[in-house]
Structure 1
Amino acid sequence: MEPTTTSAKATCLLCGAAASPALFLPRFAGSSCQGCARRVGHLLVAEPSLLTDIWPLLSEEDDELEAEPTVQRADGTTVELRQITAEMKRDLSIDDRMKLAEMYGDIGLIREQLEECGRVLVAAPTVDLAQRALDVLFSPELCSPRGLEDLRGRLFPA
């Protein structure tokens, strides 16, 4: 089994600073520091539409002609399903949000999976949770081959 972190002397592939503890990015033969991982999470949460060249599946758009499903609350009010889902997610722990992200991937809701991984990176209390989110985000199936290079440009514009 591969280690989840690299040695304490690793350098972050994004900012160039020491990455200790390092978050391993095996696809790119290097590491990320926790600060850059958190910055990636903030970008995914705040501006996912600006990252479609890095994660092309973020560009999946809902059919705007199709109405959002609605549900009826116990009090008789009707709300959109996405509102109920957002309310339920607010009560989840970060660990549960990572499990949700993994489940989204299992059922093919990739855009939602990527966005949840962003939320996990923003708030990850442990290196293990951040590593799990990065493993999903930088997988060959989801991240473009130039993803790390493009991301570096977004995080640290010249």
Structure 2
Amino acid sequence: MSTIPITVRGAELLKEELHRLKTVDRPSVINAIAEARAQGDLSENAEYDAAKERQGFIEGRIQELEGKLSNAQIIDAKSLDADGRVVFAATVEMEELESGDKATYQIVGDDEADIKQGKISVNSPIARGMIGKFAGDVVEIQTPGGVREYEILDVKYI
């Protein structure tokens, strides 16, 4: 498995979820399984089946998070020295030339992407179109509505 780029904040969120799964969710489901077993016949015990299914999900998610964190390349935007170029973890202010609409996005890993919070995946068409560009550059990005032109107004490493 190759390295996965992730921001410092993204890594913290994955570590917090992993900690919660191991210290809260896993013991809780183990108790639920024990209580369901105590009720006797397991063949028609819905609580037991549900708890075992939940346990499988939790264990799978723990393995997934441990794998991602072990292969993570944590990138701190504040320590980047990209000379104003758009790179992973950079925050980019841009303007759509036709409409004049402005937007600000941080380029993050796939697991961190959340358009409502202004975080776009490094693999998204917008991010791919901006990577390597500088403030003042105009980029053409293929969108579902056709090709759109954006001007990069500012690049920050925050």
Report if TM-score (shorter chain) is over 0.5: no
Q: TM-score range by the shorter chain?
A: under 0.3
Please report the TM-score for the alignment, with normalisation by the length of structure 2: 0.25
Q: Which has the larger radius of gyration?
A: 2
**Which has the bigger relative contact order, CA under 8 A and spacing at least 6?**
1
Bigger fraction of residues in strand: 2
Bigger fraction of residues in helix: 1
Please report the TM-score for the alignment, with normalisation by the length of structure 1: 0.25
